[in-house]
Amino acid sequence: MEGKIAFEEHFAIPETISSAHDARYAGWFPAWPDIKRRLLDLEELRLPEMDKHGIEIVILSLHNPAVQGIPDAKLAAEVARKANDTIAEFVAKRPDRFAAFAALPMQDPDLAIAELTRCVMDLGFKGTMVNGFSQVGDPNTVVYLDDPRYLPFWEKLEQLDFPLYLHPRDPLVNREPVYDGHPWFLGSAWAFGVETAIHALRLMASGLFDRCPRLNVILGHLGEGLPYMIWRIDHRISQTPRGIPARRKMADYLGDNFYLTVSGNFRTPTLVDAIMEVGSDRIMFSVDYPFEKTVEAVKWFDELHISERDRRKIGRTNALNLFKLEGSARAASR
């Protein structure tokens, strides 16, 4: 399929890749030197790969944990602004092919609101990607997005009518002894998914979407396992409600306030389950570049045994509508 749109596609700036980051990622990915090169690249490698595989538009986002892993709020704000200015300058050269998500200093909700507003209103960004919880004040203090301090941020996001992509990050290892001696389950193999799933469930259970019903949150990897488990979650909560603030079932929020991408989860039965739970109007194509290979994502997606109507919705038109991309020169011509 030509004209695909992808938006779990990452970049980096030198300030967000430290020697510790190098050491950690090198342990996960034997191909880390090439991945790092592709993260730092904006112009040389991306566009040829997009052209080769029928991807028309990419929305770029800062890799994880980046700003969320900087405990000092002022420094986090400085790094976020630099990353956002860097990608805005690049997007301005090719607005027909690239767009951006804002990186935000969630360590300080007021600073986050100010930077979100600047990015969306002044720079034309299409929403934000937040890399899970933020470390606030010191490296061992974590704050999730259901914390009451973030309600004004969510209200602003709803007012602006753009989505938040809730991207994974690892839990702090010193808080999760279950991974001791089992490093192969950290990262994208397991820890990313379950960490993001419980974060999303916390948002649902908090009553956030009752207060802000027009909010849209995006989950990658076909929903981090939630479509498969959502019935049982609701079933067991209904047996022992324990004063949950949410007014509706978790499945209702999943279907009404969340979008899912296929990024990094190129598995047809999993996609079918996600379609059954949330519908093809709320599923979208992505790759997870450069941590996943574009050729694998595209070959699987283009050969899927689904209707061409659903393929076009998932591959293109759902994203056009959610991110308000209709103004793109090439998009408008289709």
Q: What are phi and psi of 9, to 5 degrees?
A: -125, 120
CB 325 within 8 Å of CB 126:
yes
Rounded CA separation 167/128 (Å)? 10
Query: 26: part of which helix (H) or strand (E)?
Result: helix 19-28
Rounded CA separation 9/100 (Å)? 10
Please classify residue 102 by burial: count the beta carbons closer than 10 Å to its beta carbon, then call 0-12 exposed, 13-18 middle and 19+ buried.
Answer: buried
Which of these, 34, 36, 60, 35, lies nearest to 47 by C-alpha position?
Answer: 60
Q: What is the DSSP string of 265-293?
A: ---HHHHHHHHHHH-GGGEE----TTTS-
Tell me how far apart the 2 most distant CA atoms of the chain are, in Å: 55
Rounded CA separation 226/4 (Å)? 25
- Residue 288 bears catalytic tag: yes
User: What would the two tokens of residue 119 be?
Assistant: 């990015």
CB 55 within 8 Å of CB 8:
no
Q: What is the DSSP string of 188-207?
A: GGTHHHHHHHHHHHHHHHTT
Chain centroid to Cα 20, Å, comes to 23
Of the residues 147, 288, 302, 310, only one is catalytic, namely: 288
Q: What is the DSSP string of 7-43?
A: EEEEE--GGG--HHHHHHHHHH-TTHHHHHHHHH-SS
Rounded CA separation 203/93 (Å)? 37
Which active-site residues does the annotation give?
Answer: 288
